[in-house]
Homo-oligomer: A and B are copies of this chain.
Amino acid sequence: MENKLFVYNTISRTKEAFEPINPPLVGMYVCGPTVYGDAHLGHARPAITFDLVFRYLQHLGYKVRYVRNITDVGHLENDADEGEDKIAKKARLEQLEPMEVVQYFTDRYHINMNQLNVLSPSIEPRASGHIIEQIEIVKKIIEKGYAYETNGSVYFDVVKYDSSHHYGKLSGRILEDLLSNTRALDGQDEKRNAADFALWKKAEPEHIMRWPSPWSDGFPGWHMECSAMSCKYLGEHFDIHGGGMDLLFPHHESEIAQSNIANDKEPCKYWLHNNMITINGQKMGKSLGNFITLNEFFAGSHSSLEKAFSPMTIRFFMLQTHYRSTLDFSNEALIASEKGLKRLMLAMEILDKLKPSEVSTTDISQLSNKCYEAMNDDFNSPQVLANLFDTVRFINGVNDNDETITADDLQKLKVIYTTFVIDLLGLRNETNTDQIEIIDSLMTMILNTRNLAKINRDFAVSDKIRADLNKIGIAVKDNKDGSTWSFGI
């Protein structure tokens, strides 16, 4: 292919040509969910964004190892190092073992991801399953002199690090500002400086999730899990690290610091970040209390929703905006997405039935080029969709005999349309969900016709209908009140 993929690298703030470290292999790490509640739009966006990236890289022929973690321990509240572990808190409230909460919400997350047609990552490691690997990195950082122990907890020395490296180069923050702006928090006295972050936390007596370590029975700091798991499965320096923009600071910034000290390397070559979801212009998040879960979208069971929206409508809605732009939720936007998706899918059915002609009134290879150009421009899915809607107009034109297409071009068009709509954008037809209702309605129509035939004493017709139904596995039973039907003969 002549066109080359360009990706926006957050750390260089430019679009760069994508050149993997060891082609055709690509290693990609994406921060997955913290599993202490149902997934909402804020979880769907990174999942769908990096699903698009995963699908496209594989389509280009790369052999991608995609690691997306499950954070099941160590994510502290307020994104500060103090406070209660979110999962342990939920568990105590419900009198459950934390891992039972984790299992429950992980299972539900997987169901949601399947509904959204998000492919499984190659490896889905859990933070709690990699405590040893995290402890080993903490040891290394202590040995190199960039971490210190206080009362059984270990902190990363950000001030020392910043004197030789640049803490803030990813997020654009400046250490001086961080030091002066940070408010005092409980336990802060354990740190030498307010900007230092925990690598290991000693567990309080009531803390359920804990493991032995050289420093205390405790648990790893939040930023440590991604350093440990990305390094274990992708190596010390890999291709792509992705996640939501809300993770830029302190999470990804601190991962960079940890890697630079532990491995003397940047963790990855390209940093990719999806932008946030807003609702009426406000950030959406659990702590703000204005989030709508995916299950609520699918069921229409939230007061802000005018109706239910299907998983594919949500997926389409996300793909209609470039992943680096903010995405504002509204009922109107979702209703528009629903219509757009329907048009796209209907065109695929029409495409299947088009009749070829002698000449084509459009240039099919141009369409293909435009779609690849859009994808190569930092995964520009809204531009891909715009191109596809031009194609929908053409398909409808052929169907209405206003345009024509040759047999060869028709074949090409089917391949391109399917490649982009189904394989790359990952959309799928959702009609099956209501099939039993449709069958029921069709059966009512057919049995009415048969009943009419019987009234007219046209028994040849009524017997034929029953026989035809029997052939496809539907039994009809006549009784004095009319006819009933059931599956199975």
Q: Which residues of B contact A487 (CB under 8 A)?
A: 349, 431
The answer to whether B442 touches A443, judged by C-beta atoms less than 8 angstroms apart, is yes
Chain A 435-446, CB-CB to B under 8 Å as 1, else 0, gives 111110111011
Contact of A233 among B99, B110, B136, B434 (CB under 8 A): B99
Q: Which residues of B contact A13 (CB under 8 A)?
A: none
The answer to whether B126 touches A99, judged by C-beta atoms less than 8 angstroms apart, is no
Among A166-174, A275-283, A307-315, A467-475, the one that faces the other chain is A467-475
Docked CA distance A329–B474 (Å): 31
CB distance from A239 to the nearest CB of B (A): 15
CB distance from A325 to the nearest CB of B (A): 30
Q: Which residues of B contact A102 (CB under 8 A)?
A: 123
The answer to whether A349 touches B486, judged by C-beta atoms less than 8 angstroms apart, is yes
Docked CA distance A239–B467 (Å): 56
Chain A 125-138, CB-CB to B under 8 Å as 1, else 0, gives 11011111000100
Chain A 90-126, CB-CB to B under 8 Å as 1, else 0, gives 0000000101101110010010000000001111111
The answer to whether B129 touches A126, judged by C-beta atoms less than 8 angstroms apart, is yes
Docked CA distance A124–B97 (Å): 13
Contact of A473 among B345, B438, B449 (CB under 8 A): B438
Docked CA distance A240–B350 (Å): 58
Q: Which residues of B contact A126 (CB under 8 A)?
A: 126, 129
User: Given contacts A100-B122, A446-B445, is CB(A129)–CB(B129) below 8 Å?
Assistant: yes
The answer to whether B442 touches A472, judged by C-beta atoms less than 8 angstroms apart, is yes
A397 on the B face (CB < 8 A): no
Q: Which residues of B contact A342 (CB under 8 A)?
A: 488
Residue of B nearest to A110 (CB): B110
Contact of A353 among B128, B353, B435, B484 (CB under 8 A): B484
User: Given contacts A212-B136, A342-B488, is CB(A103)–CB(B129) below 8 Å?
Assistant: no
Residue of B nearest to A345 (CB): B488
Contact of A438 among B132, B474, B484 (CB under 8 A): B474
Docked CA distance A473–B129 (Å): 49
The answer to whether B65 touches A472, judged by C-beta atoms less than 8 angstroms apart, is no
Residue of B nearest to A126 (CB): B129
Docked CA distance A99–B442 (Å): 49
User: Given contacts A435-B435, A438-B439, A446-B445, is CB(A123)–CB(B99) below 8 Å?
Assistant: yes
Docked CA distance A449–B461 (Å): 10
A-B contacts, 19 of them at CB < 8 A, read: A65-B97, A99-B125, A99-B233, A103-B120, A103-B124, A107-B120, A131-B132, A345-B488, A346-B486, A349-B486, A349-B487, A350-B486, A353-B484, A432-B436, A441-B472, A442-B446, A442-B472, A445-B465, A446-B446
